[in-house]
Structure 1
């Protein structure tokens, strides 16, 4: 069961009846509306021996392919996805969908897999550092509000729909498609590391849909939002937005974020939070939060919750549910116990 496995959410036991055969990395999952199947996104090109160009739909019990879903061909990997009505919104490193230019962001019909032309926001302007390091346009992560009306996405771009949008953009979603919002910020325009053209790594919208948090890599540079978690309000859809708060690691990458009513959980290979004065060190006021931590949603300060974990490359996935928080990583020790690559925390 390489690359995709199912387990009992209560006991952690592997479900041996779920046995899809996927020939490449799975980067994203989304539950289908029928409650019996799920969508996969990643770098794979086949599932169960049949062509599946970076997207597939499989039975949630067995892993068998769902008949009738034949996705349009994406020419590169999917990094994230959300199901919104009968549209499957995709973000990734792809540049074409079904042979048509759709850089980094697109949608498929959730029933048939056909390309959905209503999500065409024309991402462009791959960033280039002062030393000439660049990369193709891509979307690293995205999220959709619970009511399906707002999309926020982050990645390597500097224009969206012909308008300046540096690494982060907000769009409105309706039954007829997607439209760029007037909401914008210039805070992700500055360069961080000269080796990293784009440095946003994760984004999550609050349960009530009124604000979101973005997390970054990039090293510690005063006055920037590098190596930090930043809260932004949606509010009025205007430009020059500033973060409500910023929590700095002091020079370590954050890769993932999940918001609940009580906390903003962040993961990466960070050593500290509350560390605006640190430069790859613990500055005044810094608190140790290795690999995972929790931030107060209103004050932006680290909460006392501190389970600790091996840092490794970092905590790449955080998934908050009504039952608790699932943590995905490349390491094997969490809270001083053996939890190989996957852990679960019941939450109050």
Structure 2
């Protein structure tokens, strides 16, 4: 058994039996370390290889052994996403404290030692409440950093950042001295979607050139709102009132993940359709069938012809675009009519 974290050959798919970390709970996030020999992991776990590791650890990429000298400050809740930016490991999740100090949902650790880095303190706050009173602690669901390392975007359950109104999505500037909130903002994620969950943000990805991004959501069929949809926004000037360049609606099905390659915006979830603004849990006028995974034209916002199809299940939770192709991870086993157990790879044209 190799629970929760496993390595395999990217060409053959063969499991690497020498990589054997022992992680006691879910791993939600990975980031390659700068040395090319190790990786950071984040999730809900509290120990790795029998040693305390409260939600973050660094392990040898060949063996899974813990890397000596990395002793991260304790996080009191799950890590959902992470990015390595220079000497900082930026983490987002459902934690409320780091090393016993209040630091809700977003924090940085020293990439070498794991010590808390107080230079990233954007004071994420304001847990949302639905129309029926459902609420939850502040959290970051997903984040991304531009290729040049200067821009951070994060989404989740919050309504203020650094004392300013930011509804479920915020942009910050990163520098050698820390992080500062950008003036960029949108009110389009202020309304509620479903009455059963306070945040409907599920994924976000910045374009390779760093000038725009796409956010994907769950929700439930609210006309005029960005529920169950992929939406492109431009960064542009750092001002408020931003509106999406385009929105692609599923018509009532959740999108969980997004990856931008330049020629395409890939989206995953348990959606049945794209191009479906008129659908209400049905295929409305213009809808195209794109079960579980699809691709969107980054300029027009319309679905591309690419349609491998996959078993939908809970959904395609992970998309990872590389120079070689697109990796997908989900809870199902059939992609393009073939067996691919939970993981599949598409070479990019």
Taking structure 2 as the reference length, the TM-score comes to 0.99
CA distance in 1, matches of 2:43, 2:124: 20
Partner residue, 1:69: 70
Q: Deviations over 1:286-327 (max 9, x none)?
A: 000000000001000000000000000000000000000000
Q: Deviations over 1:157-181 (max 9, x none)?
A: 0000000000000000000000000
Partner residue, 1:97: 98
CA distance in 1, matches of 2:61, 2:49: 14
1:131 aligns with 2:137: no
Partner residue, 1:23: 24
Partner residue, 2:57: 56
CA distance in 2, matches of 1:128, 1:77: 21
Partner residue, 2:325: 324
Matches within 5 A, 1:280-291: 280-291=281-292
CA distance in 2, matches of 1:340, 1:12: 11
CA distance in 2, matches of 1:220, 1:267: 18
Matches within 5 A, 1:283-322: 283-322=284-323
CA distance in 1, matches of 2:180, 2:234: 19
Matches within 5 A, 1:187-206: 187-206=188-207
Partner residue, 1:4: 5
Q: Secondary structure of 2:41's partner?
A: strand
CA distance in 1, matches of 2:12, 2:210: 32
Shift of 1:331: 0.4
Q: Deviations over 1:44-100 (max 9, x none)?
A: 000000000000000000000000000000001100000000000000000000000
Shift of 1:144: 0.1
Shift of 1:270: 0.1
CA distance in 2, matches of 1:182, 1:315: 33
Partner residue, 1:120: 121
What RMSD over aligned residues (CA atoms) do the two structures have, in Å? 0.4
1:215 aligns with 2:205: no
Partner residue, 2:144: 143
Q: Deviations over 1:19-57 (max 9, x none)?
A: 000001000000000000000000000000000000000
Matches within 5 A, 1:242-253: 242-253=243-254
Structure 2: any 5+ residue segments left out of the alignment? none
Report how many residues are paired: 348
CA distance in 2, matches of 1:193, 1:41: 28
Shift of 1:196: 1.5
CA distance in 2, matches of 1:242, 1:11: 44
CA distance in 2, matches of 1:195, 1:47: 34
CA distance in 2, matches of 1:180, 1:347: 35
CA distance in 1, matches of 2:201, 2:262: 23
CA distance in 2, matches of 1:263, 1:346: 13
Partner residue, 1:276: 277
Partner residue, 1:343: 344
CA distance in 2, matches of 1:30, 1:285: 39
